[in-house]
A = this chain, B = another copy of it.
Amino acid sequence: MPFTNLKTMRNPVCEVFKIQYPIVQAGMVWCSGWELAAASARAGILGVIGSGSMYPDVLRTHIRRCKQSGVSHFAVNVPLLYPDIEEQMKVILEESVPIVITSAGSPGKYTPMLRAEGCTVAHVVSSARFAEKAEAAGVDAIICEGFEAGGHNGREETTTICLVPEVRQATSKPLLAAGGIGSGRAMLAAMALGADGVQIGSRFVASAESSAHAHFKQAVVQAGEGATVLTLKELAPVRLMRNGFYRDVQAAYQRGADAAELRDLLGRGRAKRGMFEGDMEQGELEIGQVASQFKKVQPVAEIVTELLEEYEAARKSLRPL
């Protein structure tokens, strides 16, 4: 189980992504536009534009704005099951995006093509089996995401504390842990489990620079224990906040709704309506369990400083048994 490369003392995640700290700001639908990616890059972590909520021309605009702001080293996250995928990839290559993080699909098709064009490629997995497939497809790094993560999620329901050791056994690639990580303590826990770095989503939803609606940011920092639930498993499992829409989903389950009825209920545009337009009752509000742990909206730079300071304080406090 390789940890930090002791020979060079360089962290493998920092090396592969060419960043200062082994932290990736997750690409998140409706929340991670160019402002968030640029702020993250300036804070020394990997900034990511989430293309999942963008038409190809919108993605192109975000990539260009990020560069115009003076930040050219960033990543784009691409959920591989989206219909516009070919167009998205075209934009990414035309705009010379240096790093691509793929998720929600098979990495076999696009990884070789992206790498041949000079991109660094990471893939998000929910199991060791998928990590092996990703490594076989040639990815440069692997992000394993546990059951507690917000948004779309694996069917095995393996949690971060169980998933990281499994994936660490399965691959020698630089490994990032995701799901349940919003503090320096949780970062340290992920490293203890064998990760080389972390991907953090929810906490950056509640950053000043995220494109989430102000209502959603407030809901996130006010979320308490048990505020989220993994549901809609018949479609694609997704972790979201319990609100009016979720209560409608529950009612549908209680009357024995099938997948088609659930799909009708979900409809189109619900994620945008919630996270981007601020409808807290009828929107779909994707967020992780960890949302209950942070209490205020903060600038990205402040979040990163806190993460680093807390990591180091916790590391120094660990005692022999």
Q: Is B188's CB under 8 angstroms from A165's CB?
A: no
A159, B4: Cβ atoms closer than 8 Å: no
Chain B residues whose C-beta falls within 8 Å of the C-beta of A52 in the assembled complex: none
- Which one, A77-85, A90-98, A263-271, A285-293, is touching chain B? A285-293
CB pair A162 B289 closer than 8 Å? yes
A140 within 8 Å of B by Cβ? no
Distance of A271 Cα from B124 Cα, bound (Å): 37
Kindly report how many copies of this chain are found in the complex they form together.
2
A 181-207 to B, binary, CB cutoff 8 A, 1 in contact else 0: 101011011111110000000000000
Contact between chains at B185 and A165 (CB < 8 Å): yes
A108-124 residues with Cβ-Cβ distance < 8 A to B are none
> What is the bound-complex CA distance between A77 and B220, given in angstroms?
37
Q: Could you tell me if B315 and A158 are in contact, using CB atoms closer than 8 angstroms? A: no
Interface flag for A298 (CB, 8 Å):
no
- The smallest C-beta distance from A131 to any residue of chain B, in angstroms, reads 10
Give Cα A185 to B180, complex, Å: 17
Chain B residues within an 8 Å CB radius of A148: 147, 158-159, 161-162
The residue on B at minimum CB distance from A10 is: B319
Chain B residues positioned under 8 Å from A186 (CB to CB): 161, 165, 192-193
Is A244 interfacial (CB-CB < 8 Å)? no
Query: Given contacts A148-B162, A165-B183, A230-B157, is CB(A188)–CB(B318) below 8 Å?
Result: yes
0/1 string, A223-254, CB within 8 A of B gives 1? 00110011000000000000000000000000
The 4 closest A-B pairs by CB, nearest first: A189-B189, A161-B180, A156-B226, A188-B192
Give me 16 A-to-B residue pairs in the complex whose CB atoms sit less than 8 angstroms apart, sorted by A's number.
Answer: A128-B225, A129-B225, A147-B147, A147-B159, A148-B158, A157-B230, A158-B225, A161-B181, A165-B183, A165-B185, A166-B292, A166-B293, A188-B189, A188-B192, A312-B320, A312-B321
Q: Which residues of A contact B (CB under 8 A)?
A: 3-4, 9, 11, 21-22, 127-129, 146-148, 155-162, 165-166, 179-181, 183, 185-186, 188-194, 225-226, 229-230, 256, 289-290, 292-293, 308, 311-312, 314-315, 317-321
